[in-house]
Amino acid sequence: MTNRGPAQATSRHRIAHLRRRSPRTPVWWRDAIGVLSWGSVLVVVALWLSGRGIQLLAAGAADLLTSLGRLAGLVAADLLLVQVFLMARVPMIERSYGQDELVRRHRLVGFWSFNLLMVHVGLILGGYTLRDHNNLLRETWDVVTTYGGMLLAVAGSVALTVVVVTSVRVARRALRYESWHLLHLYAYLGVGLSVPHEIWTGADFATSRVARLYWWSAYAVALAAILVYRVALPLWRTLRHGLTVREVIREGPGVVTVLLAGRGLHRMPVQAGQYFVFRFLDGPGWSRGNPYSLSASPAPDRLRVTAKAAGDGSSRLAGLRPGTRVVIEGPYGRLTGERRVTGKVAMFACGIGITPLRALLEELAYEPGDAVLVYRAHEAGDVVFHGELEQLARLRGITVHYLLGRRIRNRESWLPESAAAWTDEDAMRQLVPGISGYDVYVCGPDPWMDAVCATTTRIGLPPNQLHQERFSW
C-alpha cells in the first residue's frame, strides 16, 4: 500500500544535528588498516631474515626445520595480534569495515594463525629431535618441562584450540551466543600465556634489539587497545550517560521493545542503523552482553531497542523492570546513512530485521516519494511496528509494500509463495521502479538477505548502493 504526505520538519532538524556530530569515515582509513596489517607481517619476515633465517635453511636438516618453525611461529604470533586489533572495537577499524566483515576477516586470520602455530610446534619439535638424536615423545617432554615459559605456552595453545574449535560453523550452531562469546574470551588468555615463552626462549628476543622493540611495542599497543576500547570507553559511556530501563513494551508474539532513558545522549556519536551490546543489571547472568539494534532514531534523552526472543539474552528482555541499570558497549555498525550515494532509499526487511531499517526511515533525509519499504513477514500478525510504519509513511511520503505468506518452496527467493509467478528480478523492478537510482538497505535472516542481494546484482545495482550488515558470530 502507498501513503504520502509532507516531510516532518522536526525530523529534518534532528538529521542535521546528527550529521554534525557523526562525520563521514575517511575512505583511506580502510587502506591504511590493510597496509598496517600486511606491513606487520613483512616486518616479522624481515626480522627472521636478519636473524640468519635463510642461512640456517642450508645448515642441515635440523636447522632447516627449526628455522622454518621459527618463521611460522613469528607469523602466527603476529597474526594473533592482528586478530586482537580486528576485534578490539577500535573506532577506526569498526567504522571502516563494519562488524560482519570484521567477523569474517577475524575468523580467516584466526584459522591461519592457528594453523601456522601448529606448523611451528611440529617443525620445532622435529628440528630439536634431529638435533638431539632423540625420539619425538621424549623430546616433546623435555622441551615442555625444561624450556622457560613452555608450560604456559602449552596452556595458551589449549586455550586457543578451544577458541578455534568453537569457531567452526558446526560448533557455532550448537552453542548459544552467550556461551560462544564467553569461550571466545579465552583468546586473550592464549595471547597472554604465549608472551613468557617468546621472551624467555625466543631467538629473536634473545639476540635482536630491534626485534625486542617491535614485539614489546606490538604487545603494548594491543593491550592498550583492549583496555581503552573494550574496558575504559564502555565504562566511561555507561557512567556518563546513566542508561536505565524506562519501559518494556510487548510488540507481538515473542517481540519486545525496551525504552531506555539516559542523559546527554546527544554527545554520543550514534546514528540510526547502529547497535549496542547491552548488559542489563537485573540479576544473575548480567555479565553476558547481547547486541541489539536501535529501532528508533536516537534522541538526546532516550534510546529504543526491539528484539525477538531467540536466546537467553533476548528472552529475558520481557522480564526487565523500569529502573534497571544498563551497561553499554558501542555504538557499533555501519548500516547507516553515511555511505549513501543517491537521494532515494529502498528498504528490504524481513521479520525482526525491520528494527534498524525503521530507525533509518525515521532519520535519513529524503523527499516525499523517494523512499520505499518492502517488508516480508510470514503473516499479518508478525509485522512489527505496523502502526508506526503507517504513521511514518503518511508523515514522510513512504511507499510501503507488505509481502506476507510462506516462503516459496524449491526456490531460493525473497518473495512469498503468493508471488511465485514473478521472477525475483521482475518483482524488485515492480516494487521499486527505477531501483538503480536508489540506495538499497537490506536486513533480515541470512538466506533471505542472500536472495535479495543476489537479485540486486542480477538487475545491475551498483555495489556501492547496496548496504547490509549481518550480525554473525
Q: What string of H, E and C letters represents the secondary structure of 239-294?
A: HHHCCEEEEEEEEECCEEEEEEECCCHHHCCCCCCCEEEEEECCCCCCCCCEEEEE
Q: Is the pLDDT of residue 393 over 90?
A: yes
pLDDT at residue 473 in the model: 56
pLDDT of residue 312: 54
Q: How far apart are CA 457 and CA 342, in angstroms?
A: 17
Residue 440's pLDDT band (cuts 50, 70, 90)? very high
| Mean pLDDT across 180-189 | 70
Whole-prediction pTM value? 0.81
Kind of pairing between the strands at 398-404 and 371-377: parallel
Q: What pLDDT score was predicted for residue 98?
A: 78
Distance CA 279, CA 287 (A): 6
At 298, give phi and psi (nearest 5°).
-65, 140
One-letter identity of residue 34: G
Distance, CA of 132 to CA of 419 (rounded, Å): 73
Contacts with 410 (C-beta within 8 Å, 6 or more apart), sequence order? none
Give residue-wise pLDDT tens across range 10-52. Answer: 344 344 334 334 457 787 888 898 899 999 999 999 988 888 7
Q: Name the one residue in this structure whose C-alpha cell is 602449552.
A: 154
The answer to whether the CB of 162 falls within 8 A of the CB of 155 is no
User: Poorest-confidence range of 190-199, 244-253, 374-383?
Assistant: 190-199
Residue 36, C-beta contacts closer than 8 angstroms, at least 6 positions apart? none
In angstroms, the CA 362 to CA 403 distance is 21
121 CA to centre of own chain: 31
The predicted pLDDT at position 195 comes to 74
* Through-space distance between the first and last CA atoms of the chain, rounded to whole angstroms: 36
Radius of gyration of the CA atoms of the chain, in A: 26
In angstroms, the CA 470 to CA 466 distance is 13
pLDDT at 201 > cutoff 60: yes
Mean pLDDT of 236-243: 96
For 95-121, what is the mean pLDDT? Answer: 85
Which residue in 199, 125, 186, 123 sits closest to 157, CA to CA? 186
Listed in sequence order, the residues at least 6 apart from 324 whose beta carbon sits closer than 8 Å to its beta carbon are 244, 245, 280, 281, 282
User: By 3-state DSSP, what share of the chain in percent is helix, strand and coil, each rounded to 5?
Assistant: 60, 15, 25
CB of 394 closer than 8 Å to CB of 5:
yes
Alpha-carbon gap, residue 104 to 54, rounded angstroms: 34
So what's the pLDDT on residue 175? 67
Compute the average pLDDT of residues 86-100. Answer: 83
How far is it, in rounded angstroms, from Cα 385 to Cα 291?
A: 20
Residue with the bigger pLDDT between 184 and 216: it is: 216
pLDDT at 180 > cutoff 70: no
Go through the domains of the chain in sequence order and give each one's CATH number: 25-236 (1.20.120), 242-332 (2.40.30.10), 336-468 (3.40.50.80)
pLDDT surpasses 90 at 186: no
Which one is predicted more confidently, 404 or 208?
A: 404
CB atoms within 10 A of CB 256: 21
Three-state DSSP at 21 gives helix
362 pLDDT higher than 50 = yes
Question: Average pLDDT in the 362-380 region?
Answer: 94
pLDDT in tens, 278-336: 999 988 777 788 889 999 999 999 999 999 876 555 678 888 999 999 999 989 988 99
Helices (H), 133-208: 136-146, 150-167, 169-174, 177-184, 186-201, 203-207
What integer pLDDT is reported at residue 15 of this predicted model?
A: 41
Residues in the chain: 473
Task: Note whether 269 and 330 are within 8 A (CB).
Answer: no
pLDDT, tens digit (0-9, with 9 covering 90-100), for 50-69: 887 788 888 889 889 989 98
Q: How far is CA 177 from the centre of its chain?
A: 13
Query: How far apart (Å, rounded) are the C-alpha atoms in residues 425 and 323?
Result: 49
**Rounded alpha-carbon distances, angstroms, from residue 277 to 1, 90, 218, 311, 327:** 35, 15, 27, 15, 8
- Which residue has 615442555 as its cell numbers? 144
Distances (CA, A) of 275 to 114, 302, 465: 30, 14, 21
State phi, psi for 336 to the nearest 5 degrees.
Answer: -125, -175
Per the structure block, which three cell numbers stand in for 360? 533509518
